[in-house]
Amino acid sequence: MNLNIPEHSNQVKHKPDLTWKLRCLILFIAVAIVVSRRPDVVFNAQFYAEDGRVWYADAYNLGAIPSLFLPYAGYLTTIQRLGGAVSQIFPFLWAPLVFNLIAIIIQILPAILITSSRFSVLIPNRYSRLFLAFLYLALPNSIEIHANLTNTQWHLAIVAYLVVAATP
């Protein structure tokens, strides 16, 4: 039995316009930009706001799974609580660094999405996409949401919009 599924004509075909080496370079540069704005998040990592007092403490005291679904201030903070659960794997001394590294990964996700070929229909010029990603990473006056797990919901909101706006 042949199960060939016909392709829909409304699907936009796009080929990756960046090689894996260039993608790795973009990833490295994105991390370097984020870390260069506040080197202490890696070299002198400390818990920020609810990172230690709530996310880490609940994962430690209640366990990773039970704390995962606890609301905080009326919000279901699953990503932050996942960070607390992951940090339990490491020694306590490294927990703030684990939190910050997870936050950095989440913070660079929009830049990675913008530079991907999924945005070649919306922004055809590759250099324009790279510049837009740089602008996002170098956004001034964003210290409150910079490289901390407590405020990653703002970066994730941008990721959600970009996923919806991008070509599948």
Say if 116 falls within a structural domain. yes
pLDDT at 17: 64
Residue 33 to residue 47: CA distance in whole angstroms: 21
20: CB partners within 8 A, 6+ apart: none
5 pLDDT more than 60: no
pLDDT at position 167: 87
Contact 58, 88 (CB under 8 A): no
Q: What is the pLDDT of residue 6?
A: 47
pLDDT, mean of residues 17-33 = 89
How many domains does the structure of the chain reveal?
1
User: Which tokens hold the place of 45?
Assistant: 């990592």
Task: Write down the pLDDT at residue 16.
Answer: 62
- pLDDT score at 9: 47
What pLDDT, on the 0 to 100 scale, is given for residue 162? 94
Q: Is residue 85 part of a domain?
A: yes
Query: Does 4 fall in a domain?
Result: no
Please list the residues that pair with 145 across neighbouring strands.
none
62 located within any domain: yes
**Model confidence over 114-160: pLDDT tens digits?**
999 888 889 999 999 999 999 999 988 888 889 999 999 999 999 99
12 domain-assigned: no
- 15 in any annotated domain: no
For residue 14, being part of any structural domain is answered with: no
Alpha-carbon distance of 9 to 47, in angstroms, equals: 51
Query: What is the C-alpha end-to-end distance of the chain, expressed in Å?
Result: 29
pLDDT, tens digit, 9 for 90 and up, residues 26-72? 999 999 999 999 999 999 999 999 999 999 999 999 999 999 999 99
Q: Is the pLDDT of residue 15 over 80?
A: no
pLDDT of residue 168: 83
pLDDT tens string 78-122: 999 999 999 999 999 999 999 999 999 999 999 999 999 888 889
Would you say residue 82 lies in a domain?
yes
pLDDT value of residue 42: 95
Q: Given a cut of 80, is residue 14 above it in pLDDT?
A: no
Collapse the DSSP code of 115 into the 3-class scheme (helix H, G, I; strand E, B; otherwise coil) and give the result: helix
Query: In which domain, by residue range, is 160 found?
Result: 20-165
